[in-house]
Structure 1
Amino acid sequence: MEKFLERYHNKITGVLSTFDRMLFKGHFLPFFQKSKRHQYLFQEKVLLKNFGTYAKKVSEVIKDNARELSSKESRPLIHLDSSRISKEDLARKIQEEDRVKEGLICVLKGVEPCVSFDVRGNKEKQKLEVVIRERKCLFLYFYYQHKEFGFMQVRIQTWFPFQIQIYINGREWLPNDWMERASGIKDTITAWFRLMMESGRKR
């Protein structure tokens, strides 16, 4: 990039740059520290032998909230049976067909591998322990058309430690930011950014 700018500096009047993709991650922190893990369960009055039942109840609350949100916003909640289906392509198709200009587009869900927790017996110590293990659980994908950030996604794991990812695309955010700053040349900016975004998706 620097060599390109140096070579054609006489023909370049300005440079436009932004982040390409930004990913925010979070999880239920107490369960990643052994001491706090047991402290949390003690506060919730959950015995180790009942952890599976407790975790399932919390998981159902998250799923119920997703169903309530999709119903409240009158947006589809779709279960995907295959990981080969492009979630983003499906969400964009729904957005185009339903002409969603702002807000929740859809909620997609599917079972995927994850890192989670379970209770196992320790033969040496002769007691139950909460252990980290790989398993499969349901993931929820919330697709939005945000006024400022554009097309974006929120991914939630429905089992402990409930990892969450918020995905923002810089190519979606930048044109919206410019629209606020230069409403007088809206059509020109829209056309230019559409070309930029399409070229980015084809990479």
Structure 2
Amino acid sequence: MNQQEGLSVEPVDGYRRASHLFWACVTLLGALGFFLVGISSYLGWDITPLLPSQQIHFVPQGVVMSFYGIAGIFFSFYLWCTISRNVGSGDDRYDRQAGVITMSRWGFPGDSRRIHNRVPIENVKAIRMEFLEGIYPRSVVSMRLEGQQSIPLTRPSEYQTLLDTERRAAEPARFLGVPIEGFDRRERE
């Protein structure tokens, strides 16, 4: 968190991460493999020697593989678009002098590509930490507002250790002068 006199700015990572790049590459390569095997079964000869298709009949296996390949290519295109646009990136600005918290994010292309959410500081009652147990445990830090729903400060899919969660909750709570509501442990629904 970058802090100046009365202003604190915390950058938020978007979709451009190493894990997302990995899955976009894996999805593209797998989809291309399915598509090439499906087309090879239709043509009756192998387009690529790495993916033999002599044992695959075009109807029904080749048709299904071609369909999965095309669907995977479209899904991979979506992943690459979100990575190239860095959807979800932005920053959280805590401005004590103006009395406002501004959360800015980049969204998908369109009229509302830049998303801004402004919250008066006096509406913030606490910073809340929550831990969801289960097969894939995760922690969520959110800002509890008076008379409104909580606004998450971390992504639900973002895995954090207990120390990271405490740090992520302590910095805005200290800067805003609000209490931290402790861990609520519950099973995921």
Higher relative contact order (CA 8 A, sep 6+): 1
Q: TM-score, normalised by structure 1?
A: 0.22
Higher helix share: 1
Q: TM-score, normalised by structure 2?
A: 0.23
